[in-house]
């Protein structure tokens, strides 16, 4: 079993990849949702970090200086991924994340963890991109911390949706900031992998759900 298939099944079993009626941060009504905030055990965090680490290594991004996890969901993702890279691939990378509100006492500032240095290569670790809103918010934070080189963005799922124009959010991020996004899986891979396939005795994407997802893709996604 490929790690992509394992990851899709892991998301379903963890209650992270769910199907029904939802509204995304961009306001779109969607029949499926990915919420990494539903991971809640140490075992899940360890496994999740392993999937991110595998994707990072597969895409040749294991030699960066630091992982950055945008608050809030990116915080445990960056930590779990750093641990997995150390344990599984002998890559002891720095990690850091931002505060939502800048601290005005103690050491102060908006960053926690590794102190970014000019010239550092940084990889952003995030959950999902829909319209790219959250990602745009962290670029000023990173560039304000140091003159870093952003090597890319690792995410759980590429929803393959349009951003603010006719391109996908991922394509817009690449055009606007010059960085590539590396998803562990895409929504198309999710459909192709578990359509009419049982996971622990239940089919999550039957013909009706597939039709709803395909309709959503037709409306919001870029071919």
Residue ranges at the known binding site: 25, 72-73, 99-100, 103, 105, 126-134, 159
Annotation says 105 is catalytic: yes
- Provide the greatest CA pair distance for the chain: 56
Helix (H, G, I), strand (E, B) or coil at 70: coil
Identify the H or E element spanning 19: strand 17-23
Which of 61, 105, 167, 180 is an active site residue?
105
- Asked if 151 and 61 touch (Cβ cutoff 8 Å), the reply is yes
Q: How far is CA 108 from the centre of its chain?
A: 28
> Which residues does the annotation place in the binding site for 5-phospho-alpha-D-ribose 1-diphosphate?
25, 72-73, 99-100, 103, 105, 126-134
> Which residues does the annotation place in the binding site for orotate?
130, 159
Which of 103, 115, 143, 167 is an active site residue?
103
SS3 for 142-157, per residue? HHHHCCCEEEEEEEEE
Annotation says 103 is catalytic: yes
Active site residues: 103, 105
């Amino acid at each position: 079993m490929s790690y992509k298939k394992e990851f899709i099944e892991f998301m379903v079993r963890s209650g992270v990849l769910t199907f029904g009626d939802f509204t995304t941060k961009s306001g779109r009504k969607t029949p499926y949702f990915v919420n990494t905030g539903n991971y809640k055990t140490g075992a899940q965090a360890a496994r999740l970090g392993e999937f991110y680490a595998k994707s990072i290594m597969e895409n040749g991004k294991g030699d960066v200086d630091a992982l950055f996890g945008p608050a809030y969901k990116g915080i445990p993702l960056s930590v779990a991924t750093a641990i997995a890279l150390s344990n599984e691939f002998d890559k002891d990378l720095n990690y850091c994340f931002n505060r939502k509100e800048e601290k005005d006492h103690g050491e102060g500032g908006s960053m926690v963890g590794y102190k970014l240095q000019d010239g550092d290569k940084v990889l952003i670790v995030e959950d999902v991109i829909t319209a790219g809103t959250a990602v745009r918010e962290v670029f000023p934070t990173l560039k304000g911390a140091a003159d870093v080189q952003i090597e890319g963005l690792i995410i759980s799922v590429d929803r393959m949706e349009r951003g603010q124009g006719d391109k996908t959010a991922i394509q817009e991020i690449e055009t606007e900031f010059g960085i590539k996004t590396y998803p562990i899986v895409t929504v198309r891979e999710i459909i192709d992998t578990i359509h009419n396939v049982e996971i622990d005795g239940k089919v999550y994407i039957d013909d009706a759900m597939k039709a709803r997802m395909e309709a959503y893709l037709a409306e919001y996604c870029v071919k």
